[in-house]
Amino acid sequence: MSAATTGAGRLLLWRHGRTAYNATARLQGQVDIPLDDAGRWQARTAAARIVARYAPTLVVSSDLSRAAETADALGRALGTVVERDPRLRERGFGEWEGLTGHEIEARWPQEFAVWRAGGDPAGVGAETRAEVASRVGTAVREHAARVGRDGTVVVVSHGAAIGSVVADLLGQPPHWRGVVGMLNAHWAELTADRAGAEPGWRLHGYNLGPTDASSDWNAGPDVTAPDESADAETRDPD
């Protein structure tokens, strides 16, 4: 897509705050898990930074509660209504949802190895990377097209979904893994390129947040930090 049809001048792809599944490194997929206390603090803290730095024009979120609650923290700070779009949901992981990486590997060793290598595991009901990129990419482009070139659209989504759509917006194939592992309540920043340029978007930052990433950010104020020995790639899938 050329920059002439991107619409918004700036696009933020913001991952939801922490959940209990994130803290215990369980694969969430499309299971509807709410934010935990640390996640709510992350959402409020990051929202304040986004408002101060970007002054968003439009906020749209996945309809899963962890993304919706994160987006609502920004909506309250802006005094605006947040829209929901189910196309912005996380990648569906089928039978793997709710399991840890160790549990998945024990039951599906070959499929797990394919996933860890960046491929699409077969036979477990998971969406392919191409399917996620198409679903989320279509939604993101539609919302960006609603806002003028001076506008900023914030899309609140999920780790794997954001990784796939960033690749799509940059004209990369679905299996491209040049950006992975976004932390909770962090975001990617893209801007529309000049008219006629391809792929139409430029990536200015990935895994951006209101503070340097650390165990303190993962824990939140006065909250127990997640087990850092747990499978981080399952906690923060790409």
Query: Which positions are catalytic?
Result: 16, 90
Within 13 A of 58's CA, how many CA atoms are on the CB side? 23
Residue 74 Cα distances to 7, 59, 61, 154, angstroms: 22, 8, 11, 9
136 near 67, Cβ under 8 Å?
no
67 near 16, Cβ under 8 Å?
yes
CA distance 89 to 238: 14
Q: For the chain, how far is it from start to end, CA to CA, in angstroms?
A: 23
Write the DSSP symbol of residue 128: P
What is the sign of the dihedral through the CA atoms of 181, 170, 136 and 56? positive
The continuous run of DSSP H or E covering 207 comes out as strand 201-208
